[in-house]
Structures are given as C-alpha cells and as structure tokens.
Structure 1
Amino acid sequence: ATLKATQKATLKAILKVTLKAKLKAILKATLKAIQKATLKATQKATLKATQKATLKAILKAIQKATLKAILK
C-alpha cells in the first residue's frame, strides 16, 4: 500500500510539473503569436497610412501644377 501511495504521489507530482510546463509553453506561444500579429497589423496600418498620405500629396501637387498650367 505504501509503494502504491508513493507511486501515486510521484505520478501526481510528475503530471503537475508536466502540466505546468505545457501551460507555460502554450502561454509563451500565444503571447508570441499575439505580438507577431500586432506588429504585422501595425506595420500594415503604418504602410497603408504612409501610402495614402504620399498619394494624397502627389495628387495635390499634380492638381496644383495642372491648375497653374491652365491659368498661365
């Protein structure tokens, strides 16, 4: 009975450690995935905003030049 109890306790301890390690790994992977997704989204948004601003500036310059040429 003592051997069985010891085995049970040992198994319980091993399972607890394994579960804790697995949970830690899952949390780490989840956090990494969230960070990667956030970074990607931020970069995409920044790029989109930059492109939009650049396009707007180019169009404004073209309109200004066209208007200047028409009025000359």
Structure 2
Amino acid sequence: MTLILTITMIAILHFLLHYVTYRINLIACTKVLQEPIERVMLHLPISEGGRILFYLLQVANSLIWGIAISFILTLIR
C-alpha cells in the first residue's frame, strides 16, 4: 500500500512540477528577452541568450525535482 501511495504521490508531483516549471520558463523567456511566447512554445529559433536562459532554467527545474523526490522519500521512510 505504501509503495502504491508513493508512486501516486511522485506521479502527481512530477506532473505539477513539470507543468509549473515549464510555464515559468515560458514566462521568463518572454518577459526577460522580449521573445514572442509562440516562438518559445513552438521551439522556433530564438536568440542565443533566450536559448541559454531556457536551458539553465531546465537545469534548475531538474534540481528542484530531485530535491522534491528526496524529500518525499524521506517522509515516507
């Protein structure tokens, strides 16, 4: 039962984190770099700075995701 609950919690958190962080990345790229949101969403060519910022934000999101998983697993144990 604990394993099923753990997998369910991780799946829900995974979806929420990816959705929220993807939206934050889009907002950051469009506000900071003044790039049209359609260009960022469709992965059309954007400025080099925009691409670097987007990838750096993805790395930060991965770190947040790893910390969140570790926290959940610590709570369950």
- State the TM bucket, normalised to the shorter chain: 0.3 to 0.5
Ranked by relative contact order (alpha carbons within 8 Å, sequence separation 6 or more), the top structure is 2
Rg (Cα) greater in structure: 1
TM-score by length of 1: 0.43
TM score, norm. by length of structure 2: 0.40
Name the one with the larger helix percent.
Answer: 1
